[in-house]
């Protein structure tokens, strides 16, 4: 038994329109996939499989300590 709403939940994005061609200076920033590991810990996320039991907040704190990062938060509480 499958019931569906007429609206699709996941958006599909079309190709970008280029207004003006440009180069980017390799001296600044990093392509996301080439970030050094320390940068990744500032601009990264872990798609964690939360086990049953602990709260989202407890899990987040555990991960924060494990990685030794200053700040961590969770996306969409799962309690």
Partner 1 sequence: MRGGDPAVSGLLPILLGNATKGSAQAHKYPKEYICLLRLHGEVEDPELEWGLTQFIGEFYQTPPVRANVARQVRRKTLFEAEVIERIGRDILLRLIVSGGTYVRKLCHDLGLILGVGAHMVELRRVRIGPASEGKAVTLQQLQRAVWRFRAEGDEGGLREVIKPIEDFLSYMPRIVIFDSAVDAVCHGAPLAKPGIAAIDPDISRGMEVGIYTLKGEIVAIGEALKSSQEVLKEGGIVARTDTVFMRRGTYPPRWGRGKSKTS
Question: What's the CA gap between 63 and 77, in Å, rounded?
Answer: 15
User: Is residue 78 within 8 Å of residue 56, measured between CB atoms?
Assistant: yes
Question: Is 79 an annotated catalytic residue?
Answer: yes
Q: Is 70 helix (H, G, I), strand (E, B) or coil?
A: coil
Binding site residues, partner 1, CB under 8 A: 1-11, 13-25, 28-33, 35, 37, 40-56, 58-60, 62-63, 66-67, 69-76, 78-79
Pick the catalytic residue: 33, 34, 70, 79? 79
Q: Show the tokens assigned to 79.
A: 């309690």
Closest CB 57 distance from partner 1, rounded Å: 8
**Residues taking part in catalysis:** 79
């Amino acid at each position: 038994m499958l019931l569906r709403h007429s609206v699709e939940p996941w958006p599909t994005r079309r190709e970008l329109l280029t207004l003006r061609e440009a180069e980017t200076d390799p001296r600044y920033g990093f392509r996301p996939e080439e970030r050094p590991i320390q940068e990744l810990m500032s601009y990264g996320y872990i798609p964690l499989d939360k086990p049953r039991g602990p709260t989202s907040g407890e899990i987040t704190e555990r991960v924060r300590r494990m990685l030794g990062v200053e700040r961590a938060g969770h996306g969409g509480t799962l309690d």
